[in-house]
Chains A and B, each alone.
Chain A
Amino acid sequence: MSEEAKTPTVDEYLDPLATPCMQPGAMADIHTFPAAPEHQEKLGFPGELPENWEQVAVAKMGELLGKYRGFRVFLDSCVKCGACTDKCHYFMGTADPKNMPVARQDLLRSVYRRYYTFGGKYFPKLVGARDMTKDVLDEWYTYFHQCSQCRRCSVYCPYGIDTAEISMAAREIMDSVGVGQKYCNEILGKVYDIGNNLGLPPKALKMTLEDFEEDLEDETGLEIKMPLDVKGAEILLVTPSADFFAEPHIDGLFGYAKVFHAVGASWTLSSVASEAGNFGMFIGSYETMRNVSMRIRDAALELGVKRIIFGECGHAWRVAYSFLNTLAGPFDFLDPRYPFPQHICEYTWDLIQKGELKFDKSKNDEYRLTFHDSCNVARGASMGSKPGDQFEIPRNILKATCNHYFDMDEDTIKEVTVCCGGGGGILTDDLMDVRVKGASPRMTALGNLRKEKGVTHMAAICAICKSQFTKIMPKYDFEMDSILSVHQMVSNAIILEGAINEDDDDDDDIPGAPDVEAAE
């Protein structure tokens, strides 16, 4: 006993949502790399700061006030009650007060008040109004690139003020005066030129998919197809390009292919719409978002598909579920019997319910698993037939494919899930400090579950979450491969007719399985 008492405090439960003591200016020196003029101009933005940029910026704000009711109403409605002040994962992680949602909004609201309200025009000091100056612009650039547009604050605001809307507007205003972010705008240029965020050309994609087919055949002995640009296929699968090259994303893609194979579905990927993600949302530009979305419509028409299904990608799913019908619709040429668009989890769960998929759960016994609700799926979209199905369906799939499932602290999941720290245009190495600190609430919650339940892995349905966690988990003393795709679990456990099963005889002794299991 006394031995155990000496164990360091790592076994203690830590509050994942602990409010830090404010450290003003803690993150003031962070500047994400600016977009080069050619990246700006490709998207129709000026290459650099114009001479009269202050007027341009203020006029752009006025334009947005007339185009977006949310933006208009949110700027007037805040009473500074403080309800949101302790809700942002970036504030919890960095302690910088300008990462409190209301303080972040106020960076822009102060300028709005100065130019567009009576109080701000005549009594600027009284209401905290500020001129549009270069210092203010720099501050915008710093702090509006420390918001992942995850909308957690909007859950808690008594008026539903959504900081994501404010930060999108701020980025759009900055783009309009030539101050864009390299990460987002360079990637959007690649989508325009090649069709996906990676700049993976069709030939390379074709070869990659052929390699995957070989891998699947080696694993299962079956000819599991990864079709590309097949005209007349029933289903078009649009998935994040990370699914073609990154781990654990690829394992998720294998899972989708196995599900389609199991039920003999006719499906295809598209080299035109070889990217589900839509960074147009991150920079707040409706037109960019629409241009990127039109590729999906074009591909669907070109291939003559009847259904569109999206792979595991959080922001893509928000744009797909909530915006795609608006941006690129109407999609009246699709089969109306199926939801448009459909999430791969909806598709798989539907098949599981119908009894069309069989699983050997013991194949996943090496995993003690939890699920990270991705912010844009949780609060920007939905799934299934009723509100909240976006939480239940992925969990149901995990429980159907895995014997050991546990949830994290309830104030860090589902509706109030904490962001991975890399969403909304933050997933770039030049913002690594922001990413690592922003992930701390999630990592703390996961750490608690590791101590309490011996959880070893966390699954997600978002390409950004997966990439982010792969990178930052080692900083929190987790293996980088502790993050999994939901369809990776499907891929591991699914029973395919005629498949060879190489590890049938060695599943008695699973290396690394924790002892806690016996306690259950």
Chain B
Amino acid sequence: MLTTVYAILFYVATLTLVGGIAYRIWEYASVPNPLKIPTGPAPRTKAGAAFRVFREVAFFESLFKSNKWIWLFGVMFHAGLLLVLLRHMRYFTQPVWFWVDLIQPFGIYAGLVMVAGLAGLFVRRLAVPRIRYISNPSDYLMLALLILIGLSGLMMKFFAHTDIIAVKQFFLGLMYFDWHPLPSDLPLLLHLALVATLMIIFPFSKLLHALGVFFSPTRNQVDDSRKVRHISAWAAKLEK
């Protein structure tokens, strides 16, 4: 019963996440940019603009200019999350890829760093009046959700081990449509339920910033308006 519920939950969550993201990509891509609005001074070449987006994604360049504390906590969380996700690849691959093996020990520290970063963001949201002013309940809940995911995961690592072999069989089973039972430890069930929730919320929430950064015209546009005439379809119609 539990296995069936979680199996269905993860199918739904995966479909929602993948379908939702694909829909958003299509949606954002289908809206034109009628004007060139890169924030100046902007790169004059496509490669330059791509590099600017890369720096934004990889190093949070603008945030670094803005506020070192938010940058630090943001990097701790995101870099930590990235390593943790890569470490989790071992539950979905058989045999485990060699580089996933290599990063296993780091992944655990990354989990701690991630939760610390999230905690820092949570404290800032409460303690800095300006940020408290702009926060909605959903902003706190989102951080709480991520923190709980991190803590429930770390709990399984450090305090209440689960039958990880069975967990892996459950997920491989989901992938190959050959279901295996899921262990019924509380931290595991909590962890998985929260992760599925996060996956479902993703395409409907501010987590879309992950896509937004790639689609942001102020960052990805090339400053070449004097050289190349840029015109969108709806604007071209005005010329008739």
Contacts and interface: CB of A to CB of B under 8 A. Distances in A.
B208 to A, nearest CB: 5
Interface residues of B, number: 63
B195 interface: no
B203 to A, nearest CB: 9
Given A97-B130, A321-B225, A382-B42, A70 B137 contact: no
Most buried by B among A70, A128, A381: A70
Interface in B62-108: 62-63, 65-67, 70, 74
B168 interface: no
Contact of B34 (A22, A77, A286, A329): A286
Interface of B: 24, 27-28, 31-37, 39-44, 56, 60, 62-63, 65-67, 70, 74, 121, 124-125, 128-131, 133-139, 141, 204-206, 208-209, 211-213, 215-219, 223, 225-226, 228-231, 234-235, 238
A386 B44 contact: yes
A322 B209 contact: no
B164 to A, nearest CB: 33
Contacts of A378: 40-41
Most buried by B among A106, A287, A321, A326: A326
A510 interface: no
Given A70-B218, A158-B62, 14 more contacts: A69-B28, A69-B33, A69-B217, A80-B139, A81-B121, A83-B67, A118-B204, A126-B137, A128-B136, A160-B216, A160-B219, A326-B36, A387-B44, A416-B65
Contacts of B36: 322-323, 326
Given A70-B37, A70-B217, A81-B63, A339 B32 contact: no
Interface string A100-139: 1011001000000000011100010111100000000000
Interface string A80-100: 111111110000000001001
Interface string A236-268: 000000000000000000000000000000000
A192 to B, nearest CB: 16
24 contacts: A67-B31, A68-B34, A70-B37, A72-B31, A73-B28, A73-B215, A80-B131, A83-B70, A103-B134, A126-B138, A128-B136, A151-B39, A155-B39, A156-B65, A157-B66, A158-B60, A158-B63, A160-B39, A286-B34, A286-B238, A322-B225, A326-B229, A382-B42, A387-B44
A341 interface: yes
A79 B121 CA distance: 11
A391 B128 CA distance: 34
A388 B56 contact: no
A392 B9 CA distance: 58
Nearest to B31: A69
Interface of A: 19, 21-22, 65-70, 72-74, 76-87, 97, 100, 102-103, 106, 117-119, 123, 125-128, 151, 154-162, 165, 286-287, 290, 321-323, 325-326, 329-330, 339-341, 378-382, 386-388, 390-391, 415-416
Contact of A387 (B40, B135, B235): B40
Contacts of B65: 155-156, 416
A158 B56 contact: yes
A322 B35 contact: yes
B226 to A, nearest CB: 6
A156 B66 contact: yes
B33 A70 contact: yes
Contact of A85 (B37, B131, B216): B131
A160 B211 CA distance: 12
A66 B231 CA distance: 15
A354 to B, nearest CB: 21
A323 B124 contact: no
A341 B225 CA distance: 10
A205 to B, nearest CB: 28
A325 B215 contact: no
Contacts of A65: 31
A89 to B, nearest CB: 15
A81 B74 contact: yes
A293 B51 CA distance: 33
Given A68-B31, A387-B44, A82 B134 contact: yes
A7 to B, nearest CB: 35
A415 B40 contact: yes
B159 to A, nearest CB: 31
A67 B234 contact: yes
B218 A325 contact: no
B63 A69 contact: no
Contacts of A339: 226
B181 to A, nearest CB: 34
A126 B141 CA distance: 9
A290 B238 contact: yes
Contacts of A386: 44
A102 B28 CA distance: 21
A155 B65 CA distance: 8
Given A82-B130, A162-B39, A326-B34, A69 B215 contact: yes
B138 A128 contact: yes
Contact of B235 (A69, A154, A326, A382): A326
A159 B212 contact: yes
Contacts of A118: 204
A126 B136 contact: yes
A82 B70 contact: yes
Contacts of A156: 62-63, 65-67
Contacts of A155: 39, 62, 65
Contact of A159 (B24, B42, B213): B213
A381 B137 contact: no
Most buried by A among B63, B134, B139: B134
Nearest to B32: A69
A381 B228 CA distance: 15
